[in-house]
Amino acid sequence: MTAELDAIAQKMVADGKGILAADESSGTIKKRFDAIGVESTEENRRDYRELMFRSEAMTKYISGVILYEETIRQKAKDGTPLVSLIEQAGSIPGIKVDAGAKPMPFCPGETITEGLDGLAGRLKEFYDLGARFAKWRAVIDIDTAGGIPSYASIRANAHALARYAALCQEAKIVPIVEPEVLMDGSHDIDTCYRVTEWVLKTTFEELYYQRIRLEGMVLKPNMIVPGKKAAKQASVEEVAEKTVRVLKSCVPSAVPGIAFLSGGQSDEDATAHLDAMVKLGGLPWKLTYSYGRALQAAPQKAWAGKAENVAKAQAAFTHRAHMNSLAALGQWSSEEERKAA
């Protein structure tokens, strides 16, 4: 079993490939669709995801796809299960298994991710449906004036992540461990560094207590960036240097790869930051992407719910995936971005 887990984790972080996060909840995808004037019906959600799964990007630049519970059961217009489309492209189907972040008792303004109850049974069902990896997201906010994050919130979320990871590995499913320090707020880059270091050290301590096989997991962290409302924003070089520094001090070299979340960065920022980190070199693990919005904003806009725009949307998705693939290889440049566009 361990060899199987390790092989899947390695495939998820294969050179020049990344993970597509297509696991938006019903509420989130509705917001995305509202923005492009498309009604969020089951059929529209299926058509949109199907156009991505049938694109050239899937075979060239995408190693795995995180699915939502609805999507893992859906069939394409021609009756082919969407999971089969992903597998036919040479990509790995995955599944989001957490039940979302809920308010945490006695910690105003903080959340704890729920979904552990009954998870063992659900994982078995998802494995039978074709999922070979899973995702669980813990959300850590920063509000220094409000004393956030608290020790209670960081410890509880890290513990839940580790218990989820243990249940996954027992079910022969590779866990993506995602402790996200949010970039909302006005905190500076050094505060993000300090909180992320605390979160990562606590998470790996809990993973150790739960006997997680590090070779059979993938870490999905935030980058070290200042809050969106911070007076001083950071250069690409500073983000890359600080992110690599915190990861080197917290993430054991046994972990095969780190697939970053985009966390609300613009498409090009998410690509440029990843590229700059890879170019620093000398890293014990692979660095790649596990983007949602930074891969999908462009294709959603191009598609706008119209069948005649499918090819255009697929081209937009393939372009973004190609740019991020170059970044994961340390070969991206803004000239490359313009040339390909």
Which positions are catalytic? 178, 220
As a whole number of angstroms, the distance between CA 152 and CA 155 comes to: 5
Query: In this structure, how many other beta carbons lie within 10 angstroms of the beta carbon of residue 59?
Result: 12
Q: Would strands 111-113 and 133-140 be described as parallel, antiparallel, or unpaired?
A: unpaired
What single-letter amino acid sits at 206? E
- E strands present in the chain: 18-22, 62-67, 92-96, 101-103, 111-113, 133-140, 174-181, 218-219, 257-260, 286-291
For 117, residues 6+ apart whose C-beta sits below 8 A from its C-beta are none
As a whole number of angstroms, the distance between CA 218 and CA 241 comes to: 21
> What values do phi and psi take at 75, rounded to 5?
-110, 150
